[in-house]
Amino acid sequence: MSGHRPPAGPHSPVRTRVIALDGADNSGKTTQLRLLRRATGDEVGVGGGVHHYLPRWPELTGAELAHWWFTESRSEELVGLLLEGYARRLDALTGRHPWVILDRGLATVEAGCVASVMLKDGRSARDAEALVAGVRAEVLGDRAPEAYSVLLSLGPAADGAALSVGRERVADERYRRYQHLLHTALETRRSRHDAVIEADRAAIVDVQNQLRAELAQVGLHTRPLLEDVRHVVGLGGLSESGKSSAGEYLRRRFGTTRLKLGYLVDLAAARHGLATPYEEEPALLAELVVDELDRYARAHYYLLDYTIESLHRPGLTRELKRLIGERLSVVYLDAAAPVRARRSLVDPAALARNDEVKLSRGADEIAGECDLLIDNTGPRPGLELALDRLMTGADASPAAASLRMAGPLELPAPMALRRAAATTLTGLRAALGERLLLFVVAGSVGFGTADPELSDLDVLVGVEAGTTADLAGALARLRGELEVKLGVTVLTRHELLLQRCDSRTFSTLHSLKQGRIGCQYVSDDLELPDFGAPQRHQQTVQYLARTLHELRRPLLGVETSPYALYKTVLNAAKMLLRLAGVEETDPSAISALFDRMFPAPDRARIPGRAEYREMGREEIAAVAASVLEWFERYLAADPAPVAPVRPPRTHRTTVGVPL
């Protein structure tokens, strides 16, 4: 928060800018201001209900207050009191804070007055508006104190009123009519607002961030809430249902950060002095948990995805979902009691006691409201497959809208390879029809580094499940027609979605999503997830390990062509460069970068393609052996020793103290 200042003292008034947050009942104004207040501290003063500022307001609640409001009070009296409360609230807050935000600005107060008059007296909207305008002129004169106003809209009057009523525990017919009139009166004032936020279906945090963005337009700058959080997986379930296993799998596979719900609650309790935090209202506790998650994510801005264990309270879980929205996936893990007993490290009596505590909190009720229910009774691969679907599906998007398209004849490759690519695509489309989902030319041809004498045509094909026989027949025909060697990698729709592929294919898909290579065909309904970090780093480590294995095999006597050995040497260097953050595909550039970034005077230099053609098999094998030996030393090397830092010697004189 920039410009943060403590509140002014009683003898040092400050210039106050007044902002109004308008909206009907249950539109979320109070919650939004509470979230904003935690982020801004004393710089912002919040004005609550106008009746708090009225000494003449009747001391009634519930049904008695409603009876006075709609039956006993005169319309002029009620409108005058509400507008007087608005004026007194302004006077009480002005000069104490640089910013004041009103929970219900003048537009909302007026709309409430109009709706009340129409309902009380049966007046038309025109007559009610005239009465309110007259009383306003008497009470406020021509004052226009609000510098900026924001409306939280719940949609058209009928829809908005239904939402407002639906969020009440009890609502009679009179209250329903009042809400419809209130929403209608607010809609007529829509154009008076500087900004309108559609809050009817949005998550509370998303509305908060829209509000913060709007307030930044007038100089009140506040950092977005959960700005550094992309996805949160909340894990619920009884003891030994697999919550910890799920959290650890997500950490290893997708790089999520594991947090305990109790840890966040303890932080909130310590920060706000709550002796018994779980006795707080679920909505308030959920806000405090989100605040702590935001603080953690802000300090660890490089972490984007989180798991939270363990969700045992349905009320708190429900409020967290309302706050975070689609960014929170609530997962409930279920498992049969005998299976949980076999997994348990405690005796059956202790497990039963643990279950009893969780059930008393309503832990099992989360199963009926979760986003994903996983039966974790069976083998572990079933759990991991379900989690893969959750994580990859969360960021999947239509491939046709995101990939760079490049026809086969547009490839940056020799004409013979371009024609072969076009022939292959035509043949596969004819054989598979709509079952062909994706066709990508990969390898040196796709990257534009093909050698007309050495390069093969490598393609990545996405298909529907059950097409292997037809695909095999089409490839057999194509290999009889083509004058180049054809290499094919095949993945089904779900293998693509779940990222179930080897490290080399993962690299190709990453390059495809990044636009570094083009796509020659993609179906309109294919979705692809994000093939990005941290999985890509893990895949690169695996690719390097596989490449070193392939490099060692021919040196141990396994028959391999000289060109395959040469490509393996290049791939090993390319993988290490990738781990260093450098992406390169041209052989000469790979060789030069490898020598510059990882210098070794006793290691053979990797030749370029032109040099390779002049070399014999034994010479290539000697280069491969030299590079492999260097990699073995590189992986085994101890860290460079660091000389200890000794503090400078100082001369001290001791007087009167025997040593």
For 406, counting Cβ atoms within 10 Å of its Cβ (0-12 exposed, 13-18 middle, 19+ buried), the class is middle
Q: Strand, helix or coil at 415? A: helix
Q: Round to whole Å and give the CA distance between 365 and 315.
A: 10
Segments in the chain below pLDDT 50: 1-11, 650-659
Residue 651 pLDDT: 47
**Separation of alpha carbons 94 and 363, rounded Å:** 47
Residue type, 158: A
Q: Is the separation of the CB atoms in 412 and 448 below 8 Å?
A: yes
* Residue 97 · residue 45 · CB < 8 Å: yes
| DSSP state for residue 519 in the 8-state scheme | B
Q: And the tokens for 611? A: 């040099």
Give the model's pLDDT for residue 3. 40
pLDDT for 7 equals 46
Q: Look up the pTM and report it.
A: 0.83
Q: Record the tokens describing residue 7, joined without a space.
A: 């509140």
Query: What pLDDT score does 537 carry?
Result: 87
CA-to-CA distance for 145 and 131, rounded, in angstroms? Answer: 21
Q: Is the dihedral of CA 220, 207, 174, 176 positive or negative?
A: positive
| Sheet with 521-522: strands ordered across | 486-492, 457-463, 436-441, 521-522
What's the one-letter identity of residue 260? K
